[in-house]
Amino acid sequence: MDLPEANARAAIQELLGSPDTVDQGIYHHRAVLHVHGNRRRLGLPRDLAAWELASTWRGTALYPLAGPVAITGRATAGELTGLDSDMVGHARAVAQTVRETLTERRRRPPVSNGAAISELLAYATRDISASK
């Protein structure tokens, strides 16, 4: 999606379906994750791809992310920009791996939640390293 320069934040609110508020998280110095602001109250489902990407960028398993998530670039001064191609590569690779992993888990469930988390984070680390 091309964000308008004049009012990018309003376009993100519309994209996420969150007219009141959008929360922002910075998990990588060149990216901003924009998350639906009322996700808890509405009980929106978890976004495993966004969680895995943010956790891998941070180097640790983070709190769950829920609802729709948009990712933009971030300039040095903090303003929103387009996402660099390598960051797009990170997001695409991680999202694809999450889809494949969830499909496999339907056939072969993990032994524990901890094992599932470790597996996802290891895959994301591999994906991000490979896309550099």
Count of C-beta atoms within a 10 Å radius of residue 5? 9
> Residue 88: pLDDT band by 50, 70, 90 thresholds?
very high
Give the largest CA-CA distance in the chain: 49
Question: Residue 126 and residue 106: Cα distance in Å, rounded?
Answer: 22
- Residue 19 pLDDT greater than 90, yes or no: no
Residue 132 has what pLDDT?
62
Q: pTM of the predicted model, to two decimals?
A: 0.86
Amino acid at 41: R
- Residue 75 pLDDT greater than 70, yes or no: yes
- Residue 1 pLDDT greater than 80, yes or no: no
Residue 43 has what pLDDT?
84
Hey, what's the torsion of the CAs at 78, 30, 123, 45, to 10 degrees?
Answer: 30
- pLDDT > 70 in the chain, percent: 98
